[in-house]
Chains A and B, each alone.
Chain A
């Protein structure tokens, strides 16, 4: 197991050095003024960071206030009858709700579920799959569209949330199928 994890990690850790070496080298071969061009790009990168900051803060504050005011608890309670009918462990329900909204929030919740329910229970298994199989939809939308100052995102939010829902349903089905408790 640890061997496999180490192998995955080393692919991850060598991918970046490979790219970081290859791109400037290719640039040199093609006769590009590598340093000057890099600086030009880095300036644009910093400008983009500044552009997304207001959007990011607005989103983070809204989500945190919603959670602090008990929004998540109310939604979790409302969904309790459905989770019972579908045999989804109660502890996983808030995970579905927070995953599209907050990446760090979902990660913290997964840590909590792994600790209180155990990693090899259905709840721990399902929460792990939910965390691993979807992105933080709202973060991606905020940052990507914020960078180009696009406010009218058209179908993006709808598709993002529908794709999350499909992913969740698939996760629940696949977990029930694969789980060996």
Chain B
């Protein structure tokens, strides 16, 4: 509809073709990483490593994810995914995050609908956990900035504010849902 009013048929046609192809390129790029990190995670789970990790951070995680059993593998997967995000290892973050979602799905009694823990995990992930935005600093340096890293303090404030907002809104939503006795 928008296209018709703006008379942009050719642009839209090109966008459809390019976007579908880019989708496949993106997935092919991701496939190898997905296989690799999932393989590594399988070892970490079989050897009990994820449980050890989960135990270390239990005081924090048990509050954020009250409905995951403390030594369930989902907990360890969530922690590893968040660690990859914080350290800025972007190419490991997505495979590890998906792995965590699969473990959370094992606890889901209602397939097709997100559980509370899934909502919390996704909310925290989308709010971004990156501490040092290496890519952006590199781009600024390349663009000839006199002080490329000056963005770190405001970036930390913005990241902190959005993550805090995500956690607080999520907690409130959970509490309200419990009071009304409903699903949401």
Instruction: List residues of A whose CB falls within 8 A of some B CB.
Output: 1-2, 4-5, 8-9, 11-12, 15-16, 19-20, 23-24, 26-27, 29-30, 32, 34, 37-46, 48-49, 52-53, 56-57, 60-61, 63-71, 74, 107, 110-111, 114-115, 118-120, 124-125, 128-135, 137, 140-141, 143-145, 147-156, 158-160, 162-164, 166-171, 174-175, 177-178, 180
Contact = CB atoms under 8 A, between A and B. Distances in A.
B109 to A, nearest CB: 13
A30 B139 CA distance: 44
A65 B19 contact: yes
Contacts of B158: 129-130, 133-134, 167-168, 170-171, 174
A124 B127 CA distance: 22
Contacts of A163: 123, 126-127, 162-163, 165-166, 169
Interface in B31-59: 31, 34-44, 46-49
14 contacts: A42-B42, A49-B35, A57-B24, A69-B6, A118-B144, A120-B145, A128-B133, A132-B130, A135-B128, A144-B125, A147-B102, A164-B162, A170-B161, A174-B158
Contact of B159 (A5, A43, A110, A167): A167
A64 B15 contact: yes
Contacts of B123: 155-156, 159-160, 163
B171 to A, nearest CB: 10
B132 A8 contact: yes
A4 B88 CA distance: 15
Nearest to B3: A69
A68 B11 contact: yes
A42 B16 contact: no
Contact of B27 (A8, A49, A162): A49
Given A41-B40, A42-B35, 11 more contacts: A29-B47, A41-B42, A66-B2, A68-B14, A114-B139, A125-B151, A131-B136, A132-B155, A135-B125, A150-B113, A158-B169
Contacts of B63: none
Contacts of B105: 148, 150
Given A49-B30, A163-B169, A167-B165, A20 B15 contact: no
Contact-residue size bin, chain B (C-beta under 8 Å from the other chain): 35 or more
Interface in B143-174: 143-151, 153-166, 169-170, 173
B52 to A, nearest CB: 9
A2 B148 CA distance: 10
Contacts of A166: 161-162, 164-165
B126 to A, nearest CB: 4
A143 B162 contact: no
Q: Which of B16, B30, B46 has the most CB of A within 10 A?
A: B46
A147 B166 contact: no
Contacts of B181: none
A11 B35 CA distance: 24
B79 interface: no
Contact of A37 (B22, B42, B104, B113): B42
Contacts of A39: 39
Given A23-B40, A24-B43, A145-B101, A140 B126 contact: yes
B127 A42 contact: no
